[in-house]
Homo-oligomer: A and B are copies of this chain.
Amino acid sequence: MIKTGIIGGAGYTAGELVRILLYHPQSEIVFVQSSSNAGNLVSDVHLDLLGDTDLRFTDALPLNEVDVIFLCMGHGKSKEFMEKKELPENLKVIDLSHDFRLKREGNDFVYGLPELNREAIKKALKIANPGCFATGIQLALLPLAAANLLVDEVHVQAITGSTGAGQKPTETSHFSWRNNNLSAYKIFEHQHEGEILQSLSQLQQGFSEGFNFVPIRGNHTRGIFVSAYTKFEGSLQSANELYRNFYNDHPFVVLAEKNPSLKQVVNTNKAVLYLEKHKYKLVIISLTDNLIKGASGQAIQNMNLMFGLDETTGLNLKPMAF
């Protein structure tokens, strides 16, 4: 049994980790840390877990008792944590913030997108878990980059659910405002662009085409709907082959033959991709659950790889469907 600890246990991604790990057959939760909730039941914060667990939040950090920790503390705080704490030598770390996603001098975290870096993840001690938009968008574009086929500007629009914005009540997460509403934000300036371009350049050296990204707040709770397109000379058939080959041995990426809808992936770790060809453009639809494949599910997928388990262990989740 892999012994796990969760740090920053009160937020959405931590809750989702607990939900999945509770029934993961080869791991157990040793502690869920939360300063503000220390002593309280985990199910007092993550209310749906009532009846599933009697775990309580702790303020302690018994790092010697676990094999892996998940950092769920919010952006900026993971870096601080890593600098301040002395970690046991072999303790594995999976960070869900954006603090270590970008390569730079002294950053020894592996970017944890299994469909891009599986072999490196297997050997890694530290993982920077990708962002939610970044996951959905990269999965849409990686096969093209791997074939050096990103030869023109890339156009991306992505609609995200409210859980992507976290737990804190704000104006744009107020039900009266958001219900039946839509709005764009951080147009062409979303912070996930960096990690996306980094991955595309990893596969297609010298990639420097324009990347246009319009993020949109949807009035749903879970899921990211990506539509992307770019110039593509080949046929639809050749595109489908390219994608099928690229994702051939990746269990969570599914290539749909029919135009899919977002709820096909909600509450699962799957990514559904779908291609159409129009004139000289290839259109790619990419669907993921932002809290699972876009966050906590992918973190556990990474954990599975790091510990030599089957990648899907504990991640065969019942789809919500409706």
Interface residues of A (CB under 8 A from B): 12, 15-16, 19-20, 22-23, 44, 46-52, 155, 157, 159, 161-163, 167, 169-171, 173-185, 187-189, 210, 212, 214, 216, 218-223, 225, 227, 229, 252, 254, 256, 258-268, 270, 272, 276, 278-279, 281, 283, 285, 291, 316-322
Q: Are B316 and A182 neighbours in the complex by a CB distance under 8 Å?
A: no
Known contacts A169-B173, A179-B220, A221-B176: A317-B319 contact under CB 8 Å: no
Max chain B Cβ within 10 angstroms of own Cβ: one of A51, A188, A291: A51
Q: Are B48 and A181 neighbours in the complex by a CB distance under 8 Å?
A: no
Q: Are B222 and A180 neighbours in the complex by a CB distance under 8 Å?
A: yes
* Measured CA separation A181–B218 after assembly (Å): 10
Q: Are A183 and B51 neighbours in the complex by a CB distance under 8 Å?
A: no
Q: For A251, give the chain B residue with the smallest CB separation.
A: B51
Q: Are B221 and A285 neighbours in the complex by a CB distance under 8 Å?
A: no
Q: Which residues of B contact A261 (CB under 8 A)?
A: 47, 177, 181-183
Q: Are B187 and A283 neighbours in the complex by a CB distance under 8 Å?
A: yes
Q: For A265, give the chain B residue with the smallest CB separation.
A: B48
Q: Which residues of B contact A23 (CB under 8 A)?
A: 316, 318
* Measured CA separation A322–B50 after assembly (Å): 15
Kindly provide the distance from the CB of A161 to the nearest chain B CB, expressed in whole angstroms: 8
Kindly provide the distance from the CB of A288 to the nearest chain B CB, expressed in whole angstroms: 12
Q: Are A322 and B212 neighbours in the complex by a CB distance under 8 Å?
A: no
Q: For A268, give the chain B residue with the smallest CB separation.
A: B48
Q: Which residues of B contact A318 (CB under 8 A)?
A: 19-20, 23, 267, 317-318
Known contacts A180-B263, A187-B276: A48-B321 contact under CB 8 Å: yes
Q: For A314, give the chain B residue with the smallest CB separation.
A: B318
Known contacts A19-B321, A318-B19: A262-B170 contact under CB 8 Å: no
